[in-house]
Amino acid sequence: MATTTTRPEKEEEERQNEDEKGGAKTSAIINARAEEEEDLFSSSSVGTLLLGKNKAEARETIERWRGTANGGRKGGNPTSEKSFQNGEILYENYADLGFSVEFLRESVDCVHLYNETKTDFVPFRGGGKGGKMPSLPFGIDFEEDTAKDVVGKLGEPTSKGGTGVQIFIVYEMLGIKISFNALDWENAGASIHSMAVWKASD
């Protein structure tokens, strides 16, 4: 004997189907927005996203950044912070992301990104290769580039130094300083230790 569906049952079934379609559509929109956000981070350099922002703006950006990098972990608060010159200069450290933010009079003046430092900071990994973090500027690759590679990409630096301590090069016109894991310039294959990024002067 065939069973028949009453009108109320049919209406309820149709309502459930519509709810499921609506839920699927909402999920698709949320996923699309998440992908757009990840694309924004991976295609933008860290300097573009943070330099010049005030503390609240920077933390809001870092909260979204941290969420994409750490599987949804939220919060834009630093893992530690230090202040200098009576609070005029403030460093907010994000050891779990591999960088620190330097504030000068309440706005981001410089971003310090770490690679192989033997500290609590994890190596910064951004952009490219499926990364979900902002990229390093000017095509620099922490994992692959050596001192020789960097000069090959960017040309001769404005200045260099650190012999006997830790060698570094500065490109004032680009607003970056790159330090290497070496004590002298004979080691052209030295890996990158860290990079500082600031707004280049006009």
Same domain, 95 and 170: no
Residue with tokens 């910064």: 124
Q: Is 36 exposed, middle or buried (0-12, 13-18, 19+ CB in 10 A)?
A: exposed
Residue 178 and residue 81 share a domain? no
Q: What is the pLDDT of residue 108?
A: 97
Decide if 131 is inside a domain. no
Pair 78, 144 in one domain: no
Domain of 93 in residue numbering reads as 8-126
Domain boundary among 72, 93, 126: 126
| pLDDT, tens only, 49-60 | 899 999 999 998
pTM: 0.74
Is residue 109 in a domain?
Answer: yes
Lowest mean pLDDT among 38-42, 78-82, 88-92: 38-42
Confidence of residue 158 (pLDDT cuts 50, 70, 90): very high
Kindly report, residue by residue over 113-135, the tens digit of the pLDDT. 999 888 899 999 875 444 457 88
Q: Phi then psi for 175, rounded to 5 degrees? A: 75, 40
Residue 168 included in any domain: yes
Which of the two residues, 91 and 76, has the higher pLDDT score?
91
pLDDT at 89 over 50: yes
Both tokens of residue 89? 């200069």
- 52 domain-assigned: yes
Percentage with pLDDT > 90 across the chain = 50
Given 99, 126, 153, which residue is the final one in a domain? 126
Q: Are 70 and 134 in contact (CB under 8 A)?
A: no
Which of 7-21, 29-43, 63-77, 173-187 has the weakest average pLDDT? 29-43
Is 23 a member of any domain?
yes
Q: What integer pLDDT is reported at residue 129 of this predicted model?
A: 44
Asked if 23 and 104 sit in the same domain, the reply is yes
Q: Tens of pLDDT along 1-32?
A: 555 556 666 666 666 666 665 555 444 533 44
50 & 144 share domain: no
